[in-house]
Chain A
Amino acid sequence: MREWLFRLRGVKAGILARLDLEVPAGRVAVVGPNGSGKTTLLKVLARTLKPAEGVVEGPVRVGASWQNPYLSFYKATVKEEVEEAVRDPGRALEVLMEHGLAHVAGRSPFTLSMGEARRLSILLATLWRPEALVVDEPTTGLGPIERLRLAVWLAGLGIPYVVATHDLDFALLASDWLIALSNGRVVIEGPTLETLPRAVDALGFPEPPLLRELKRLGLTSGGGAAECIARILEAYTR
């Protein structure tokens, strides 16, 4: 039995109808079609939406990056945004370098590309030392390489997170636990590698290219697939 990070009991909020769910500590992805309740679930976990009924147990200090990353910004430059968050002018540039954003330090955050804005928004959500992180649709507006880089970067942040996404390849790379939602209910959940093929069938989604490739190589479960994904991630980390 895995240790849980959040536990929801009989939660009723928006489309979520009396949801009972245990979200494990680690890298978790929530997938599902439009209107299935992914964002609502994240809002409940981030405590920005109070459920009409039910109980949410888990950390209260939850960092969040929502669909529109630009709404997280209010300073004149990227460096000032980070300075405000770390409360140490000397360390801001160090943090930006560490996360590959030093080249945009002097720019207005509102002029960043979607990929850079997304990373800055997620970075800012982690800098106040929350106990968990929720990230909503992080791959919107990103190209295939940027999605991979984001998955690698997110996994390296060292904080338990729950990411809601339509992108099943991203879910495969960025999570080790998968929750599939449909109409506000959990359709299927479990370890990502084992669960994703069943989730694809259950939700009627097209098979994601990475999963198709893993199947072609006969690596749909067990250590082989995990190793393959680890190698992909490693290749993009370099």
Chain B
Amino acid sequence: MHRKDTGSLHPLTALAVAAWGLAAAYTGSRLASIMLGLALAIASPMAKRLLLLYAWLAAPVAVIVGMLRGYTAAADSVIGVLAVAVPVSSALSLVPPRWLARLLWTLRLPPMAAYFPLFALRLADHLGVAAKEAVHALKGRGVSGGFKLALRAPVPVVVQGFQSAAMLAEALYFKAPRKDKTWVEKPRAGRLDYIVWAVLAAWLAWKLYFNLPPIV
């Protein structure tokens, strides 16, 4: 039985948006690309994380380029980074992994690669908690000072990460040992896809008709 994915994006639509984002970095249209990406990010169930990710990406670029080359260059660099990051990440976050897995499988690529971002996010959550606990544990044995803690805390966290991965693999094996388990599902286009394609088509027609400068 298929779950109804009303807020999901077809992998091809997501790839079109991602391609637009990548092309925008070279050909201009960066603000339009960011706007569409932001609209998709807000529609995504991971909206908060995505917005934090963009802030995390933009802040160091703004600071470093701002110090070296001034505010105008910093703003230009931030827009350049976000023009790629925002549409690519927000579009891909709206594709159910099993749809992406199906696409990869069709392209004769390993379908499990579609689950890697999901695993990375889960691992990031786990490692975040473990890092905090490790700092508490090291403080409890008398290790003090930010530098000492920063140097030592990654060791138990990484070891724990590997141990958790081994336990998780074993648990998954016994939870779902069937070889015929469905990891892939045929993607279906929905309302959100039609909206995104309409926006892309409208923007392209508008840009061609008015011969607008690249930044728009």
Interface residues of A (CB under 8 A from B): 43, 46, 48, 62-66, 68-74, 85, 110, 121, 124-125, 127-128, 130, 134
Docked complex Cα distance between A125 and B136 (Å): 11
Give the total of B residues in contact with A, Cβ under 8 Å.
18
Are A48 and B139 in touch, CB under 8 angstroms? yes
Nearest to B139 among chain A residues (CB) is A48
Whether B66 is near chain A, meaning CB under 8 Å from some CB there, is: no
Are A64 and B136 in touch, CB under 8 angstroms? yes
Q: How far is the CB of B142 from chain A (nearest CB, A)?
A: 3
Whether B130 is near chain A, meaning CB under 8 Å from some CB there, is: yes
Nearest to A110 among chain B residues (CB) is B159
Interface centre among B136, B160, B163, by most A CB within 10 Å? B136
Contacts of A134 in B (CB 8 A): 140
Nearest to A126 among chain B residues (CB) is B141
Docked complex Cα distance between A62 and B134 (Å): 16
Whether B122 is near chain A, meaning CB under 8 Å from some CB there, is: no
Contacts of A74 in B (CB 8 A): 138, 152-153, 155-156
Complex interface bits, B136-160 against A, C-beta within 8 A gives 1, otherwise 0: 1111111000000000110111011
Are A72 and B142 in touch, CB under 8 angstroms? no
Docked complex Cα distance between A71 and B137 (Å): 6
Complex partner residue of B137 from A85, A110, A121, CB under 8 angstroms: A121
Contacts of A121 in B (CB 8 A): 137, 141
Are B142 and A48 in touch, CB under 8 angstroms? no
Are A64 and B152 in touch, CB under 8 angstroms? no
Contacts of A124 in B (CB 8 A): 141
Contacts of B163 in A (CB 8 A): 70, 110
Contacts between chains A and B (CB distance < 8 A), count: 67
Are A66 and B141 in touch, CB under 8 angstroms? no
Contacts of A70 in B (CB 8 A): 156, 159-160, 163
Complex interface bits, B144-182 against A, C-beta within 8 A gives 1, otherwise 0: 000000001101110110010000000000000000000
Contacts of A46 in B (CB 8 A): 136, 139-140
Nearest to B141 among chain A residues (CB) is A124
Are B136 and A63 in touch, CB under 8 angstroms? no
Known: A48-B136, A69-B137, A71-B130. 12 other contacts (CB 8 A): A43-B136, A64-B139, A68-B133, A70-B159, A70-B160, A71-B134, A71-B156, A72-B140, A74-B152, A110-B163, A125-B141, A125-B142
Q: How far is the CB of B121 from chain A (nearest CB, A)?
A: 22
- 3 residue pairs, one from A and one from B, having the closest CB atoms: A64-B140, A128-B142, A74-B155
Q: List 22 A-B contacts (CB under 8 A).
A: A46-B140, A63-B140, A63-B142, A65-B140, A66-B136, A69-B137, A70-B156, A70-B159, A71-B137, A71-B157, A71-B160, A72-B138, A72-B140, A72-B156, A73-B156, A74-B138, A74-B155, A85-B141, A85-B142, A125-B142, A130-B142, A134-B140
Contacts of B142 in A (CB 8 A): 63, 85, 125, 127-128, 130
Interface centre among B130, B140, B160, by most A CB within 10 Å? B140
Are A125 and B138 in touch, CB under 8 angstroms? no
Q: How far is the CB of B120 from chain A (nearest CB, A)?
A: 21
